Amino acid sequence: MSSVFGVFWRVYAAFISPPRPDNVEDNDTLPPLKIGILGAAAIAPPALVLPAKSHPEVELYAVAARDISRAEKFAKKHGFKKWYGGKDGYQDLLDDQEIDIVYNPLPNGLHYEWTMKALAAGKHVLLEKPSGNTAEETRRMFSLADQKGLVLLEAFHYKFHPAIQRVRAIIDSGELGAIKEVNATLALPKGMLGNDDDIRMNYDLGGGAMMDCGCYTLSCVRYLISNNPSAVISATAMRYSKDPRIDTGTTANLTFASLKPGEEPVRSIIKCDFAIPPRWGLIPRWPDLSVRAVCERGSIEIFNYVMPVIYHSITVRPDGKVPRTEKAYTFEGGKGEEWWTTYRYQLEAFVDKVKGRTPQTWVNPEDSIANMEWIEKIYEESGLGSRPQSTYVLPTA
């Protein structure tokens, strides 16, 4: 049994105390890539700080926050050497010549401005998803990265983990025949996200459930179908009582052209929700993190494609055969450990790319642009409209 001990060990190593690699200190032959973080965001510790601790080629170097005491506290707690704060704190961090990589977990509405500034300062950027407020912002950021020869990655971390890759490999293997239908859900119990002061509820900052948890569901069905939608058939949003431009949840009915000419289109329902109400008004529910696909000759589903390191299961039901359950915590013959999180796999790929090696997986610019385009189309269909495009203009040098 990979059991309860397996879960505890993985969670301990992944989120509490990652094992340190042997050659992490004092490696003069190859100085580590120095990382700077824009904003002392709550996502930074799991998404980057912990993964960096077990990566031998990076160093947690600097953090910037509007409030310098917050930056200092964050830096000391997580072992960063430097901190920047105040009105010019973010720019001061970008001007630090020591920094190689900038992690941008700022609110969505600030992704564009600060990613453009970071690229202009010559930094590689790991950018939180969704990449911007609009596809146009995403296009411009990738175009600047390309011009400058810098690495820019939209942090779709779940794609770097073996679990979702295994699901796609089973679909692509043809074992179950062509994919006909795939649904993806990311719904969280009321109270976890989406409180009134949450940036996710702020329209100007690029808030809304479809931007936040919805961007995963869209990305995931596009990934498993290996195609972009051909249309949004319908999309319904639950509107936030205090600002009707913000969705607290969205359900979209999408259609995709089949990859096999002449076949029926592939159907897909994606759902995201910040606030599933408690059962009978009382019992909190588990997050719903499921993806289920029906193919010509069977079905496949994965539970927990978002945080698979904690626990996940892949259930394959070939028609007329015994169903089976699979797990995938590591790649056969590839880099990784059972306790590596999606974020740790992602950091491995990011560093590989910066170092000119071939990463195991990559999210290319076209993929990031398409995801943003279809988020906008879904918002258009639900009647809420796109999030506002940044008015920032990068000064020409």
Ligand X SMILES: *[C@@H]1O[C@H](CO)[C@@H](O)[C@H](O)[C@H]1NC(C)=O
Residues within the interface to ligand X (CB under 6 A): 23, 27, 29-30, 56-57, 181, 183, 233, 253, 269, 292, 294
Catalytic residue among 53, 123, 129, 271: 129
Residue 131 Cβ vs ligand X, minimum distance, rounded to whole Å:
27
Q: Which of 135, 293 has the CB closer to ligand X?
A: 293
Residues 288 and 304: their CA atoms lie apart, in Å, by 8
Distance CA 242, CA 127 (A): 29
SS (H, E, C) the chain: CCHHHHHHHHHHHHHHCCCCCHHHCCCCCCCCEEEEEECCCCCHHHHHHHHHHCCCCEEEEEEEECCHHHHHHHHHHHCCCEEEECCCHHHHHHCCCCCCEEEECCCHHHHHHHHHHHHHCCCEEEECCCCCCCHHHHHHHHHHHHHHCCCEEECCHHHHCHHHHHHHHHHHHCCCCCEEEEEEEEEEECCCCCCCCCHHHCCCCCCCCCCCCHHHHHHHHHHHHCCCEEEEEEEEEEEECCEEEEEEEEEEEEEECCCCCCCCCEEEEEEEEEEECCECCCECCCCECEEEEEECCEEEEEECCCCCCCCCEEEEEECCCCCEEECCCCCCCCCCCCCCCHHHHHHHHHHHHHCCCCCCCCCCHHHHHHHHHHHHHHHHHHCCCCCCCCCCCCCCC
Which residue is at the shortest CB distance from ligand X?
23
Shorter beta-carbon distance to ligand X: residue 145 or 291 = 291
The smaller minimum CB distance to ligand X, of residues 299 and 346, is found at 299
Alpha-carbon distance 328 to 300, whole Å? 14
Report in angstroms how near the CB of residue 57 gets to ligand X at its nearest.
Answer: 6
| Minimum CB distance to ligand X smaller for 138 or for 183 | 183
Residue 377: CB minimum distance to ligand X, A: 15
Q: Which is nearer to ligand X, 101 or 363 (CB)?
A: 101
Contact 111, 87 (CB under 8 A): no
The least CB distance from residue 47 to ligand X, in Å, is 22
Closer residue to ligand X (CB): 181 or 348? 181
- For the question of residue 123 being annotated catalytic, the response is no
As annotated, the active-site residues are 129
